[in-house]
């Protein structure tokens, strides 16, 4: 299987100006707070959480509410402008890249990158008789290029509990 961070085809959410027009057309409230969120999400490939967006927005617009952040993100998701991403690290992420892609999570620095799977077998739920699979997601865990080159070192692993359990088991058996 090959993955590449450079070949992801982006289907990004509309520009802040276009989103404002869509909100007007759908007769949704277009407030300065929502417009700020449109700007914060535009060209944002960090896969932010609602809380991180709230923190950034609060610095620019004190008094903005977390409820407004969640409500606006929910409306954008319902409109197909961004997707909700659960990377298994406890916080729901918001991704304005609506193109077909997967994610890579760096266990050292925590960075999240969009990746394209260039060749992979078709995934099937062979033993899931009676189940209706609605979505398949793959999340790669490892070290990003920057961390591999030693530019950023961390002694604290952010890897999944399953990965950490495997490492503990390997240490005990050696």
| All domains of the chain in start order, with CATH | 2-173 (1.10.10.10)
Contact between residue 124 and residue 84 where contact means Cβ atoms under 8 Å apart: no
Angle at Cα 42 formed by Cα 41 and Cα 48, nearest 5°?
Answer: 30
Per-residue model confidence as pLDDT tens digits over 113-170:
888 877 666 666 667 677 887 777 788 889 988 898 875 444 444 445 555 544 444 4
pTM of whole model > 0.85? no
Among 105, 139, 114, CA closest to 5: 114
Tell me whether residue 121 is exposed, middle or buried, using C-beta atoms within 10 angstroms of its C-beta: 0 to 12, 13 to 18, 19 or more: exposed
Rounded to whole angstroms, the Cα distance separating 1 from 5 reads 14
Per-residue model confidence as pLDDT tens digits over 77-105:
999 899 888 877 778 888 888 777 888 88
């Amino acid at each position: 299987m090959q993955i590449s961070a450079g070949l992801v085809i982006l289907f990004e959410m509309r520009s802040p100006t276009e989103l404002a027009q869509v909100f007007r057309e759908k007769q949704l409230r277009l407030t300065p707070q929502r417009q700020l969120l449109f700007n914060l999400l535009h060209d944002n490939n960090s896969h932010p959480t609602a809380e991180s967006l709230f923190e950034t927005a609060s610095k620019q617009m004190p008094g903005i509410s977390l409820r407004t952040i969640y409500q606006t993100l929910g409306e954008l998701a319902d409109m197909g402008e961004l997707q909700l991403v659960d990377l298994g690290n406890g916080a729901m992420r918001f991704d304005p890249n609506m193109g077909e892609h997967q994610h890579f999570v760096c266990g050292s620095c925590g960075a999240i990158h969009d990746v394209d799977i260039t060749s992979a077998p078709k995934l099937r739920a062979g033993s899931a008789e009676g189940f209706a699979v609605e979505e398949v997601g793959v999340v790669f865990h490892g070290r990003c290029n920057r961390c591999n080159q030693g530019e950023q070192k961390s002694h604290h692993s952010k890897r999944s509990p399953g990965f950490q359990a495997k490492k503990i088991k390997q240490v005990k058996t050696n």
